[in-house]
Structure 1
Amino acid sequence: MDIVNLTHSDPSIFFLTGIPGLEHFHNWISIPFAMGYIVILLGNFMVLFIVKQEQTLHTPMYLVLCVLAITDIITSTLVVPKALCIFWFKLKAITLPGCLTQMFFLYTTLIMQSAVLVIMAFDRYVAICNPLRYTTILTKSRIAKLGLVGLTRAVVLILPMPLILSRLPFCDNRTIPQTFCESIAVARLSCGDITINRVYGMVLMVLTMGLDQSLIALSYGLIIRAVFRISSRKTHQNALSTCTAHFCVLLLYCAPSLFSHMVHQYGKNIAPHVHILLANVYLLVPSMLNPIIYGVKTKELRDKVLQYLCTK
């Protein structure tokens, strides 16, 4: 049955187009999606497995890394399987409740990721600026409490989003030009006033991305100041090396996110498929490269992975 006819017959059904303008290349585009998803699952599950198996890695730094790995797995699982169903089987239909559910869990996980990056920056600040008090300041119970606060904040901030969208009246056109249910893309299909959706989106960005990145910048600023107060060159190198992996991951998450939002807000002359591809890069590439960066840059984790693989 034709998509338009289905849309008219069932007002609760929406359609995800995939990559608009590149429909003929969906089979080819699905290859990096599928390969990336496999890398994300293997890499992040390997991190979780190694940290669980090795008692020496049961430290705040690696516990936070495990939380980040879990959010990476959830984010990619919320996006990639549906995208592959669109690319391979043309299964574009999604119900409004399903769309809002995907949206809620996806944005909640993304805000949780942002909170984890803040905790990681705080962890490095304490490790370098207050190394003697590290074990007393960052205990396992305190890390768990910080993670719970981050999760609670994410749920409280995101919960109004699907509730506001569910109250909007939608027009006959219910085709979402995306591979997943993006908030503003769904809101633009409404026949009603979406000003409150736009305002809430901006407020949400300030309360999460703006605040979290400010705290991260403050932490690394204090770290750099503390490092350059140390006279020993070797101590400089040791202190900076402990931050390298964290800083690479931070750039990996923040740079695509900021670029995607800037293009979305101001790049009106950019082709739609560029917007969609950037949004997917922002969601999937950090999750794919995160365990690779930690595997290369973090000696303890790298040694344990190699030791386990060689033993097997």
Structure 2
Amino acid sequence: MKKYKKWLAVMMTSFFVITSNLGIVPVLANPVQYEEGTATTVNASAADVEAEKAGDNTEDTLDITGGVYDRLTTLANPEDEEIPVTGVALDRNTLALTKDSTATLTAAITPLNATNKTVIFASDNEAVATVTGAVYDELTGTTNVTVCAIAAGSARITATTADGGKTSTCDVTVTDQSITKSFVILTDHKLVRDGGVSASVQIDLAEGAEPHSGEETVVFQLMKDNVPITLSAWVRDITSQEKITGYFNVDPADTSYTVKIYVLDRFDTDITEPIRLAESVTLK
């Protein structure tokens, strides 16, 4: 048997050498195309690929028509095959907001490589909370939307996939501010548009209000068409009137940019979590 295998190996080698010298390239039957995780395209016969996937081959890799099929690589579906959505999930199921505040909801669909990744958001009570500015993030494969608190009450936000109608919900509760503000924000409500966008405000102690103990955080939130873009923050122990300026390097001619300013009891990237120590203002 060993002699037979050796003879067969010699004959196969001779066949490939002879055909190569004659300029004839052997073609495998039933060619199929797969894509590796590195986006490298390789060709193989259907039988060879199935054998490799089943682990019937003795080699870790299989050389096929100039490419390499690696059994450890997860193969993608052929380009012409649509992958249906099987579900969608929001990053939170409940959300507590105060009037005039905003928060971000994030929807993730499954599977991540679904063909149609469109997610549609809706509020069942727009008098209380609305949704705006849905944006798909190619890096994470998720869709973000801004929830805006309009008035005290309850609303349900529903995320629905365009493919399959899969849904996920978040119950929103909006309340009025119940604490007496310790500070007031003084401003002319105008942005300076010169080489970018800058907002200057003066923070002052509110008359008759209970003073806040410790440091405060002044947050400048850049908005575009009422959708939060980014923010900058300054931590201060405000004991008297203080002027603070926030600057953003954006197109000053784009009037859709506005800046919203908050005074909070602490810093948090989710500005709905800290306590607000002053009524927010918007500069345009």
Which category describes the TM-score, using the shorter chain as reference length? under 0.3
Give the structure, 1 or 2, with the largest relative contact order (CA under 8 Å, sep 6 or more).
Answer: 1
**TM-score between the two structures when normalised by the length of structure 1:** 0.21
Richer in helix (by share): 1
Q: Which has the larger radius of gyration?
A: 2
TM norm structure 2: 0.22
